[in-house]
Each structure stands twice: as C-alpha cells, then as structure tokens.
Amino acid sequence: MSQADDALTIAASVRAGTELAAAVLARSLQRIRSLDRSLRCFLDLDEGSARARAEAVDRDPDRRGGPLAGVPVAWQDNLAVATERLSAASRVLEGYRSPFSATVLTRTAAAGGVLLGRTNMDEFGMGSSTETSAHGPTHNPFAHDRVPGGGNGGGAAAVAADLCPLAVGCDTGGSLRQPAALCGVTGLKPTYGRVSRHGLVAVASSLDCVGAIARRAADLATWLDAVAGVDPADPTSRPSPGPVAPTLPQRHDLRGLRLGLPWQLNGPGLDDEVAAGTQRAIDHLRDLGATLRGASLPSVVHALPACYLLAAAEAASNLARYDGVRFGRRREALGRPDAMTSETRGQGFGDAVQLRLLLGAFATATSSGDDWYRGAENAHHSLRADLRRTFADCDLLACPASPIPAFPLGSRRDDPLAMFVCDALTVPASLAGLPAISLPCGATAGGLPIGLQLIAPADREDLLLQVAHVFQQHSDHHLQRPLP
C-alpha cells in the first residue's frame, strides 16, 4: 500500500470507480507478504477469502458505494468471524472456529469494508506488550526490538506499517489506545455500549469496549458512524446520538474549547521525553485556540488497582467456560472431570492469565477478597463523581496515553506490576465508560512515537473526534512512518 492509502482515500476512489477493491487488497497483501514475516502482526491471512470479499464489494453496488468501500480491515483475534479461527491468542481455544460473526464486523463489511485477517494480541487481552500471546510477540515497526504495546499490538503495528488502514479491536483498560501511542497511530475507545460487543470474547464485561485503530481521526469517525448503534444481540448496546463524521468540518480551530489538565495524569511517573512531547502537543492545542485549565481527579490514584481487581473478578467468571468441555482444547487426565478441567486450564492458559484468574477468584470467593472488591467498587464510583465535577468546567481532558515509550521486548515480561503501570493513564476512561482517543504527537530522540490522550464526557465522540481532527489538520505526527 502507498502512504496515501488511508481509509477515506481508498473508499473515495472505490466509490468513484477509479479503483477496484480487489486492486486495493492486492497492494495490502503484497505489503503483508513483504513485511509481516518480521513484524508478526497477523495470525491468519486467508488470501482466497479476502479476495472473494473484495470481489463481492466490486460486484455489489451498495457496498461499493459504502463509507468504507474497499477498505482492508484487520480484526483482533478476540472478535468472531463465521467459520474463521478464533483463539484470543490462547492455547485454550486452539482449533476453535466461530459459528457466527461479531456484529461490529458484519456492519463493517456492510459498509464496504474488506475483512482481511485476524491480528495478534496479548492472551485474552491481558497484557500491555503483546508478549503474552500463545503465538509469540509482535514487533514494533519503529524498532523491531521493542514492543508494540498491548493487548491489540498486532492491529496497531499493522496500521503503523501500512499493512492495512483500519484495525478493529477491543479496549478494556487501554488495549487500543496504549498500542496506538507506542506505534504512532490513532486509537479510539468509544463510550461503553456505543458499539456492540456481540461476537467479542468476553473478559471483563463491564469494561470491554469495541473500538478501532487507524491513521487519522477522520477515518475512525467514518468507521464509528458505520458500526455504532443498538444491537438486539447485545443488551448493553445503546442508541447512537447521531453521526460524527459530518460534524468534523464544522470546526477549524479550537476557540471556545476548555481543555482540562488533571495534574495526577500529567506529571507523576512520566518518562521525561513523553512529558515534554505531550506538553508540546498541549501547547499546540492552546495555540489553536483552546483554553487550558488545571484540573484534579483525587480518586484517580485508585483507578489502576480498582480496574485490575474488577477486571480480574469478571474474567474469573467469564473464562470459567473454558473448562475442556464446551470450547477449544481438552486435556484428559486420569479419566476424572475435575482433573480434566484442571489439566486443560493449566496447560491452556498462560501465566499472565492464570495470575489474573487467581486474583479474580480470590476477590469473589473469600471474605478478604470481598472487602477488596467493595473497595474497588467504591473507587469506581468516586472516579465517576470526580469526572462529572471536572467536566462541569472542562470540555475535554488531556494527558499522555502511555507514561513511557515502547520498551524493549522481554524487559517487563517477568514483572507484572511494571506491566500494569503501562495502563495507568488509560484505565480511568475505561473505568468510567468514557470515550477517549490516542493521537500521535511527537517522538523521542530515538524515534519512538509518543501519544496524546483526549478524554470526553459520555457520548461526546463528536467533540472528541472534532478536536482530534483539527489537531491532525495542523500537524503531521500521524503521517510519520517507520523506515521500510
């Protein structure tokens, strides 16, 4: 694919008839064959199925005229596509093929998108580096000895390397925004429930949120309009407040925007280059007309432990279904069902998943854990209250998306606490169910990308993406590519 092949450029050319979806796909496949052996973004790439999907777009006038006409789309390995393999990057789902497709992917295809292949991730999304995958790690396109972030590191790296212009995935505690920041692309977590979770492998059901990664905010606005809205198959889905993409041209500067800067998210624990890079981006937003305001979120200090405890408790419940009886692999042991289940789970789940399942079991099955769980719920409610107060005086909040740039592969693999801290700046929006976006805003002296995060009130993706679009109209950070 050429560097001009962002999602909207492709869709416009296919709709105009100046290019075929099949030709766009051929470029994408050629680039994947050339680069993905070293990056390891994709787990499955059925070229025959992808070509058939592209040819179907070229034949169908409705899809050929759609907002995502001919756009190759990758999907994270925890989203179902009928008859395709789905493993959530875990050995426990080895050999499983889904009988149905995720609503978000059927809607993406109905809008003209060409489903390309599934991308690598941390096992069940539990990690911040895509190193816990049972299929091995993905490498950061900007430095192959560095992580791409996680859980959806494969999708972020694929977009950064121009293997595809759009990657759909899940953000539970930062799994789209953190890898987007580390790979120099744009990652969107919508408001909880705005995009259907039907067909997503459930891990933490109150936090799991389907979103996407692309190069530009405008691409993500178009995708969101195509897929958002109520889905009868997902009772947590909610009506869309209205289309977002048509509102982007309404704002040419940021005059009148009140941008809040919570000090708890903009200082303590930040890498010096990340702090400097995001400050330059915030200054740029001010120069575009935004008014900067100090803000405080006292309860955010509890957000990371609260989020991980609640997520672990929900994961312990959701992942109980992988018992060797109903899904995926089975390991027989001494002919006893309990031994079979223990053996299946012990061999099927990796260390990072087992650690969190143990924490979740403790939180839901012991009196001490019950106290911890209630404390996490209290922290959850306090954070929501702090955010409501803050948004009374601010339109958006700004902070880095990741406290550090991409770190060396293996450097944090054996230190779970160091890995958890990678999500310290993304979990507040997840815990509160708010929309947030990570935007490329610069690079370290060594050329590693830095990401700026913007957080909006619930259902204000229109404002969030307008501001992101204005920033990208007046900067070129999102256009920077790794060396071939």
Task: Give the pLDDT of residue 211.
Answer: 98
Structural domain total, the chain: 1
Give helix 103-110 / helix 217-227 axis angle, nearest 10°: 110
- Domain contains 454: yes
- Domain contains 43: yes
**Is residue 446 reached through a cis peptide bond, with omega within 30 degrees of 0 on the bond before it?**
no
Task: Give the pLDDT of residue 4.
Answer: 59
- DSSP-assigned beta bridge partners for residue 455: 397, 436
Per-residue pLDDT of the chain (484 residues; tens, 9 = 90+): 554 589 999 999 999 999 999 999 999 999 999 999 999 999 988 899 999 999 999 999 999 999 999 999 999 999 999 999 999 999 999 889 999 999 999 999 999 999 999 999 999 999 999 999 999 999 999 999 999 999 999 999 999 999 999 999 999 999 999 999 999 999 999 999 999 999 999 999 999 999 999 999 999 999 999 999 999 999 999 999 999 999 999 999 999 999 999 999 998 889 999 999 999 999 999 999 999 999 999 999 999 999 999 999 999 999 888 876 666 665 665 566 666 666 666 677 889 999 898 888 888 887 777 788 889 999 999 999 999 999 999 999 999 999 999 999 999 988 888 888 999 999 999 999 999 999 999 999 999 999 999 999 999 999 999 999 999 999 999 999 997 7
**How many other CB atoms sit within 10 Å of the CB of residue 20?**
17
Listed in sequence order, the residues at least 6 apart from 23 whose beta carbon sits closer than 8 Å to its beta carbon are none
- Domain contains 317: no
Residue 50 sits in a domain whose CATH number is 3.90.1300.10
- Domain contains 451: yes
CA dihedral 255, 431, 183, 213 (to 10 degrees): -80
Taken in order 62, 65, 70, 74, the sign of the CA dihedral is negative
Listed in sequence order, the residues at least 6 apart from 371 whose beta carbon sits closer than 8 Å to its beta carbon are none
Cβ 185 vs Cβ 160: under 8 Å: yes
**Residue at token pair 């539970």:** 172
Cβ 425 vs Cβ 453: under 8 Å: yes
- Listed residue (78, 70, 207, 58) closest to 135, CA to CA: 78
What whole-number distance in Å separates Cα of residue 420 and Cα of residue 94?
Answer: 27
Prediction pTM value: 0.96
- Domain contains 39: yes
Cβ 87 vs Cβ 47: under 8 Å: no
Listed in sequence order, the residues at least 6 apart from 256 whose beta carbon sits closer than 8 Å to its beta carbon are 289, 291
What whole-number distance in Å separates Cα of residue 84 and Cα of residue 100?
Answer: 9
3-class DSSP state for residue 69?
Answer: coil
Q: Could you give phi then psi for residue 342, rounded to 5 degrees? A: -60, -45
What whole-number distance in Å separates Cα of residue 430 and Cα of residue 175?
Answer: 10
Q: Which domain holds residue 54?
A: 7-260+395-406+436-479
- Domain contains 464: yes
- Domain contains 422: no
Task: Give the pLDDT of residue 344.
Answer: 66
- Domain contains 461: yes
* Residue 106 token pair: 């059927």
- Listed residue (396, 174, 379, 380) closest to 295, CA to CA: 396
